[in-house]
Every structure is written in C-alpha cells, then in structure tokens.
Chain A
Amino acid sequence: MNSSRLPAAEFEVEEVGRAVHSPDLGARQEPDAGMLQILSADGTMAGGLTAEIAGRTIDFSPYLSASDAAHLRSLYRDMFLIRRFDQESTALQRQGQLALWVPLTGQEAAQIGSGRALEPQDYAFPTYREHGVALTRGVELPDILRLFRGVTNGGWDPRERNFHLYTLVLAAQSLHAVGYAMGMQRDQLADPSLPPAASIAYFGDGASSEGDIHESMVFAASFNAPVVFFCQNNQWAISVPSSVQTRVPLAQRAEGYGFPGIRVDGNDVVAVEAATRWALEHARSGQGPVLIEAYTYRMSAHTTADDPTKYRLSRDEQEWQPRDPLARLESYLRSAGMADDAFFEELGAEARAMATELRQAVLSMTSPELADRFASVYAEPHPLVQEELRFFQEYEAGFADEGKHA
C-alpha cells in the first residue's frame, strides 16, 4: 500500500465527519480494549489464556495451537499463499484480465485462523472477500476468480467443500447461514449419530448495519441455532469508518441478543483460531450462537475500483503496518526456532509457482455461451425461457448464414 500524503484540508473534513456521525460516544474505539490476543505484534506468544465472556471465564488453552510447530508453520503457509494469491489477482485485474478484484491483504489471520478452525461437516457462508477461508476449505483458488473474470456468478460447487458461493448483497448470507444451521439442528435431532455441525457467517463492520444482520441474530437466538457470526472489522466500509456503523465494539452487540460475543485480535492467527474453535464447539454442542469480532485493518484498497488516498490517513496505515499478521508469526517462528530461512525460501518458491499456475488458469478460462445461461434460470422446464432461447438461437443462426453467404 503506498502511504499517502494527505493535505491538511482533508484532515479537517475527516474530523468534521466524525463529529457529525458519532459525538464522542465510541467515535474512536480503543483498538486493543478487551481484545483476546495470544501472539502479540512483536512476535511474542502468551501461554495459556482465559477470558471473561458473557459472565463466564473461558479457558482457551484447549483450543490453542501455539506449541505445535508444524501447525503454526502451516498457518503461516496459508497466510503467505493467500497474500500472494491476492497480489497476483490484483495484478490480473490491473492488466484487464479481471473485471474487479476484492483484496484481503491485512485480513489473512482473521480468515485463515477462522477457516482452519472449521471441521469438514461445518458450512461456511462467505461475503465476497473470504479468499483465505476458501483456501482452508480446499476450494481451488482459480475457481474464485471465475466470478471476477465474468465467466460465471459462482465458480465452485458449494456442497463439495461446504463453502457457499460469494454473495455481493451485503448481509444476505447471514440469514442463509442461520437457516442452514437450523437445518443442521433438525438433522441432528432426526439422527443423533451425525457428527455435530455448525455454520459460520462472515460479514464486515459495514454490513453489520444491515437489517439482515439484526434479523439473523434474532433468528439464531430464538432458535438457538448452531451458528457462529464472524465479523471482520477492518475498520472501513469502502470509505466510511466503522465509527459510522457503531458506537460500541461490535462484539458487545451479542449481549443484546442473548449470546456471547468475543473481540479478538484479528491479526493474531493463533487467537482467531482458538476463539473460533471455542465458538464452533459452543454452537455444535447445542449452546447456541456466538459472535466473534475480529479486529483488523484493511491494508489494501476496498476493491480495485477504490481509491483509499481520498479518505484514509497515512498515519493509520503506518500504525497498522507493524501489526502485520504475517510478520508477527514469522518473527515468532524464527525466534522459537520453528522455521528457518530454508522454510521461508521454499514457501516463496511455492507461492511463485502457484501464481504462475493461477495466471495460466485465468487466461485459459473459457466464456460460456449466452445460450447456456438459459439453462440455469429454472430447475423445471419454463415455456418463456424455452421460447426466448429458441428466438435467440434462430437470431444467432441468421448471422451465421449471413457469414456463409458473404
């Protein structure tokens, strides 16, 4: 991210904006207040950990991966690969190969940590930015680019990896996640031999203002649905800061719905994984929903159509740079003797190879025929669709004839 030099005038506009939107109350949240953190920004690891959540003392030690070197290396590997994927996709967009790209740089720990906490039988409902979660679910990375390449609105079979399609309408998927969890709950009742399962709904701090988030939390609470709400508070909804969305840390909202909310350092992959593991177990074991707020920072632009220099302060970027989720795990792995230069070099080579493959895969994606698109509007035969398809095919065939005669 190129740090910007903002003129003083913009500074003032920004201060005025804050004053209008939320006078004093929570306008500027204390970043680290009441936040679960295990791996600190300087790369040191806390031992076991307990936290007060909804009046209970939760011991997170059983959910910690901190002492498992192989596991920590694999978390780092995932974060590294997905950042490289993000860079390559951004480049592909810049070169006109993708219509749009939605970067995740800065949010690797929130996504990899939560995604790796899921069991195969769990089901994830992403927004449009959960490339890291997709990686942990085993979705083929090139498939993620099919939507952005414009060859389909989906890209993968959600049922194969229990990872739903991306949803561009903010917050809509949160209700699907709750309904899906209600279905899991019913399946479990009908057949107790099934492995307990939960769904997880991803959304952003901006989306938290949408009515569907409220309704999904009401339904989840009313039906005690096994669902985890995972909010990545990257502090911006395009150009609007999270202070415009909320007066209190988002995690606190859970209390109003009657279930636990946890605020976790979203740049600490170990803490995110532990918190999500605990939350999923809580949901699967019939204790109902949990809200996790992963407090993080979007180091990259909102999308490739965005221009953060118009609204963001370089001061903030400088403040967040040292909290980089990859840098802190790297420094821990090195200092604990869990990974050496060879590991990082190999990983770099692997990422480069992945990027090359990704580029080839994108360039070789074939466009569908418009005629194919008629087939998936309805499941059952539909006379209007059939009639319009016939018309379209005859119309197209007319041009083919013209071509022949010419």
Chain B
Amino acid sequence: MATMTIAKAINEGLRASLASDPKTLLMGEDIGELGGVYRVTDGLKKDFGALRVVDSPLAESGIIGTAIGLALRGYRPICEIQFDGFVFPGFNQITTQLAKLRTRSDGMLSAPVVIRIPYGGGIGSVEHHSESPEALFAHTAGLRIITPSNPQDAYWMIQQAVTCEDPVIVFEPKRRYWLKGEVDTSAPAGDPFSAHVLRRGTDATVVAYGPLVPVALAAAAAADEDGRSIEVIDLRSISPIDFDTVTESVTRTGRLIVAHEAPTFGGIGGEIAARISERAFLSLESPVIRVGGFHMPYPVARVEEQYLPDIDRILEALDRAFAY
C-alpha cells in the first residue's frame, strides 16, 4: 500500500500502461516537458521518450482524429484534453467518428481510444475551465465514460480504460487531484463500470460521482448526527450506469438523492431519477431529488461556492425527501 494523490495515482497508472504495452502512447497539449498543466503526466516523457509521450499541436480535433487513425493501425492512444471547456473543438471527432466506428463497420473495427478530461469547478478559475459536460457525451451511444473519485480508483480505472476495446472518456475531478489516499497497486481491480457502495445506510441513498463523492460522504456523516442513516454510492461509471446497484440500494432505503456538479436540466441525475422511478417505484417513499448546478453557464469564480452543490444542499434535499 502506498499513499498518493489522485494526480499521482493517474500518473502511476499511465506509467503502468505505457510499460506494459508498447502500442500505448500519450498525446496532448503540453504533456511532455511540462507534464501537463496539472502535471498528471509528469516525468513520463523523460522515461518513455517523445515517441510515447507526444506533445501535439494545439488542436483538439487533431488530437482525437489522429488518435482514431492510430487506433485503426493497432495503437492505443491516450489523449489528454487540457480543460473540460476545450473539448468542444474535438466534439465532432468524438461523437460522429470515435463513438460510431464500431457500428459503422458492423463490429469489424474497434476504436480503443482513451480521452482524459480534467473536469468540474471549485478551483477559482476563469471561464471554460470548470465545466461538467459529461451528459453531452453520455447521450452518445458507443462511448464509455468513467470518473474516479479516489486514488485507488484513479490508479486502476485509467489502466482498465486503456485495455478496454471501446472508446473511454475518463473525466478526472480536477479539484480532487491533490486528494490523498491509499493505493493498492497489487490488488486486482474490479469492473470499472460498476458503482461502489461507499457507506451503508438504511434511510436514504445518495448517489454521487467524481468531485462530489467526498461532499456526499460528508453530508451523510452530518445526517448521521441527526439520526439519519444515509447510504452513499459512488457511481464511478456514467456510461454505462450501474442501475442494479442503485436499484438494490433504493429498494432498501426508499429514498434517493442524486448529486452532481453539472446543471440538473438534461443531466445524468434526471436519467437516474427516471430509471429508478421505473425500477423501484413501489419502494420509493419520496420522489427522487436532484442536487446539481443551475441552468446557467458555469458562473464566475467569485460566486462558484454558491453554485456548487455542497453538504448543505444535499442535507436540504434529504430534508425534502424525508418530509414526504
């Protein structure tokens, strides 16, 4: 067991992927000498060389599009997008090409491209540096989307993304890059597309993912003091979503809160609410309640604390659920 930050865990995970398969390579802006703007790829170019850790021209469509070509030739490219708000020049290649390659070839071709995107706010930055666009990608069939919330997952999930035959987008919770935790580098990893129950409880379930997982855990601890027993699920995978784990939990607790940073309208929370209403309607003691961002572009840094779902917003939602 080693203690490391999420950023370091991803770095170690990438290192393991590069070491185990000579066909893997990293591509992105400033990922070489600099090690990425968040230093997630720090030192990798030094150890694996410029052919394996490629400082690409500044062109997101170019990064994704050439990665698709490399994948067609048998390579396993891992692309870094510098910030969430800058993935959109590459959106076309991701949604019209990468996601559809398998279907368009009737299953003959695979596109095992990994795209890493630091996402979410809470870092006091300027516009386009704090967005949570996961629902825009989750709506596209053919993509897989995961988001680790702790170093252990960060270390393993990136490696599993690389060996997956499907394209995988890894949304990395950037404000948690420096969150420390234990990493068992020898433990065989479980299915990256399954949810984890992080905390058992009997009265309500809170589902969260990525940056909001620690917030959900803290809210559950606070609710505990009020005598409410809250189960917390780390979704881990946004596409597919492990509805079985959520359904099982809700049939026991009877209440569900879904929390994410992205705007609630048209978001992942709505999808979970709808599915769980279908699957566990008779177990529900209250409607599924969503906690998320508002229908506005991510706000300026001076007010982002008010925008971001925090412990109190989750507690307020729990109060509403218990009021039914």
Contacts and interface: CB of A to CB of B under 8 A. Distances in A.
Interface of A: 152-154, 157-159, 164-165, 167, 169, 172, 174-184, 186-187, 189-190, 199, 211-212, 215-216, 218-219, 222, 373, 375-380, 382-385
Contact of B102 (A169, A211, A212, A377): A377
B166 A383 contact: no
Given A175-B93, A176-B97, A186-B75, A215 B65 contact: yes
A219 B107 CA distance: 28
A382 B105 CA distance: 18
Given A180-B73, A186-B51, 14 more contacts: A154-B105, A158-B72, A159-B108, A172-B96, A178-B65, A179-B65, A179-B69, A211-B89, A219-B57, A376-B102, A379-B102, A380-B165, A383-B240, A385-B141
Given A165-B105, A172-B93, A211-B61, A378 B73 contact: no
A176 to B, nearest CB: 4
B242 A179 contact: no
Given A179-B70, A183-B74, A219-B62, A154 B108 contact: yes
B68 to A, nearest CB: 5
The binding surface of chain A is classed by DSSP as helix
Contacts of B105: 154, 157-158, 165, 376
Contacts, number: 142
A384 B109 contact: no
B67 interface: yes
Contacts of B103: 153, 373, 376-377
Contact of A382 (B64, B93, B240, B243): B240
A85 B45 CA distance: 52
B168 to A, nearest CB: 10
Contact of A215 (B61, B104, B142): B61
Which of A175, A180, A184, A373 has most B Cβ within 10 Å?
A: A175
Contact of B65 (A183, A199, A216): A216
The 3 closest A-B pairs by CB, nearest first: A179-B69, A175-B65, A183-B73
Contacts of B71: 179
A180 B69 CA distance: 4
Which of A153, A176, A373 has most B Cβ within 10 Å?
A: A176
B125 interface: no
A56 to B, nearest CB: 26
A199 B104 CA distance: 21
A48 to B, nearest CB: 36
Contacts of A184: 73
B201 to A, nearest CB: 25
Given A186-B75, A212-B65, A154 B70 contact: no
B108 A157 contact: yes
A331 B61 CA distance: 46
B92 interface: yes
Which of B51, B64, B67, B72 has most A Cβ within 10 Å?
A: B72
Interface in B35-58: 51, 56-57
Contacts of A158: 72, 105, 108-109
